[in-house]
Amino acid sequence: MVSVNLKGSKKFKESLPYGTIKMITAAFGYKSASTVGEMLGGKKNENPQVMQCAKDIKMAYDECGFEKKRKLILKTYKNGLIK
């Protein structure tokens, strides 16, 4: 489902998981990741499907709690709790 009010921004682009722009570029058949990056960053006219795809990926990433889990794992190793 495509939302009509999605807007790109620098903040949105930077919030995406690593590699998302490259994956979206390939999935939609764009020749350059910079085109997708500019759309997601709000510098080019957005393709609503690209914007929705990026939003869906971000939501899935956020819901799985990866960042929180990664921080906990690194903290555990840093504190020497696992050897």
The domain limits of the chain are 10-78
Angle between helices 20-28 and 33-40 (to 10 degrees): 110
Structure-token pair, residue 30: 């764009």
pLDDT by residue for the chain (83 residues), tens only, comes to 555 578 899 999 999 999 999 999 999 999 999 999 999 999 999 899 999 999 999 999 999 988 889 899 888 888 776 65
Residue 27: its H or E element = helix 20-28
Do residues 70 and 79 make contact, with C-beta atoms less than 8 angstroms apart?
Answer: no
What pLDDT does residue 67 have?
Answer: 85
What pLDDT does residue 4 have?
Answer: 55
CA distance 48 to 81: 46
